[in-house]
């Protein structure tokens, strides 16, 4: 049975990071941190000191940073803040998956999921409060959309999970100059709430902090960004911050994808697939991960499997087949094990690398497509959905 651990701090008592008067240094990558210190007459090496203390050691109190002069520590207390997202609850699934509900401002909360495995710990990070897209089979989409997350709120999810796990393992912050990273989180996937490429600048800045050797030191091979296919942003990403790419495809043709992933109406497959090819470039070692949620009687037929083979024939890729994870009033059902197996076999026989993803965290609504959080919906999507379902059920 899963457990839920509430914190004693009331949601209304939490200081919203977006309203802080001073800059939140959580949100500064190395270049911006150097600019911050230069503006206050300090040398560039101060940036690396702060990055190490914040991200490698998990320190949020300037006064603990003992290799920084007392005068500068006091000055930082006056002109800046260190404010990560605040934990409201955490839940643990029967399979070990964890889900945190994190407060990001007075009315909104996001969810972050840890997927532990034998040789790695993967953290699934959110990029928006809700989601600006309207994918029909996704619980997050039904919550509507409020705003983009800041850099501090994105990287703060990694900070929170990393240092929570360290505390559980008995690692304590040394009262001395930090000497290097010790990572509990080995992989990061931007597959949580939101469409990362619609929050491009903040997501890229956060990923640069993840890869910075003075912060988390993650290789680009250990960071995966999942997108429904924002074509212009894909081209920008290739130039500015190349990481592993996952494409939320879910249909082998435009007619069905227009229904399931409405963004397809703006960026149809004839534009999206070439954009993925451009992203990979000439690097023969790289592949796009194709995410395909299997919906009973909707996109799981043998004919659709063969159409998917044809669609992907010139795109170096590997396919993750994802059994649909139900949520209330979704209107969809999970494909049967037999149809999933048949669909997979057709792809494998066509020499497509294909795996069926094991569902994790379903008992705490932490599985793919189930993240909801708390969203003050500005899109009125949730209201429209509630109205439409009430009409159907009446």
Q: Which of 312, 289, 311 is nearest to 368 (CA)?
A: 289
Q: In whole angstroms, how far apart are CA 62 and each of 20, 45, 70, 154, 375?
A: 17, 16, 9, 21, 32
From 87, 111, 162, 195, the catalytic residue: 111
Active site annotation includes 111: yes
121-124 and 244-248 strand pairing: unpaired
Distance CA 194, CA 269 (A): 21
Active site annotation includes 276: no
- The total number of residues shown for the chain amounts to 394
Q: In whole angstroms, how far apart are CA 59 and each of 44, 83, 207, 243, 300?
A: 20, 11, 20, 28, 49
CB within 8 A of 383, min separation 6: which ones? Answer: 377
Distance CA 48, CA 31 (A): 10
DSSP alpha helix (H) spans, the chain: 30-39, 45-51, 70-79, 139-142, 151-168, 200-211, 231-240, 254-260, 269-280, 302-311, 337-349, 381-393
Distance CA 53, CA 68 (A): 10
From 124, 131, 241, 368, the catalytic residue: 368
Instruction: Give yes or no for a contact between 356 and 344, defined as CB atoms under 8 angstroms apart.
Output: yes
Report the catalytic residues. 111, 368
């Amino acid at each position: 049975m899963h457990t839920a651990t509430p914190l004693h701090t009331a949601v209304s008592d939490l200081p919203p990071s977006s309203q802080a008067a001073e800059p939140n240094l959580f949100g500064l990558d190395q270049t911006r941190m150097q600019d911050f210190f230069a503006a206050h007459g300090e040398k560039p090496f101060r940036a690396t000191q702060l990055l190490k203390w914040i991200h490698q050691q998990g320190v949020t109190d300037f006064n603990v940073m003992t290799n920084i002069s007392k005068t500068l520590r006091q000055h930082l207390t006056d002109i800046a803040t260190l404010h990560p997202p605040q934990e409201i609850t955490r839940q643990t699934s029967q399979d070990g998956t964890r889900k945190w509900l994190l407060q990001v401002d007075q009315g909104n909360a996001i969810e972050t999921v840890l997927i532990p495995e034998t040789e790695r710990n993967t953290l699934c990070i959110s990029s928006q409060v809700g989601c600006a897209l309207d994918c029909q089979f996704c619980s997050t989409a039904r919550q509507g959309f409020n705003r983009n997350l800041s850099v501090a709120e994105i990287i703060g999810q990694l900070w929170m999970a990393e240092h929570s796990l360290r505390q559980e393992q008995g690692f304590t912050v040394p009262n001395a100059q930090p000497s290097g990273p010790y990572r509990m989180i080995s992989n990061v996937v931007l597959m949580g709430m939101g469409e990362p490429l619609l929050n491009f600048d903040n997501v890229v800045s956060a990923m640069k902090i993840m890869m910075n050797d003075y912060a988390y030191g993650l290789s680009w091979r250990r960071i995966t960004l999942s997108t429904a296919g924002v074509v212009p942003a894909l081209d920008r990403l290739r130039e500015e911050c190349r990481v592993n790419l996952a494409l939320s495809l879910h249909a082998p043709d435009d007619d069905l994808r227009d229904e399931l992933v409405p963004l397809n109406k703006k960026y149809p497959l004839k534009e999206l697939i070439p954009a993925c090819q451009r992203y990979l470039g000439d690097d023969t070692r790289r592949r796009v991960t194709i995410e395909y949620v299997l919906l009973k009687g909707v996109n799981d037929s043998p004919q659709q499997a063969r159409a998917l083979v044809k669609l992907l024939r010139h795109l170096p890729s590997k396919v993750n087949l994802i059994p649909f994870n139900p949520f209330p009033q979704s209107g969809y059902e999970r494909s049967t094990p037999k149809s999933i197996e048949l669909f997979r076999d057709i792809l494998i026989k066509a020499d497509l690398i294909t795996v069926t993803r094991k569902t994790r965290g379903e008992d705490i609504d932490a599985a793919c497509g189930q993240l909801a959080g708390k969203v003050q919906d500005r899109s009125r999507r949730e209201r429209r959905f509630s109205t439409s379902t009430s009409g159907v059920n009446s």
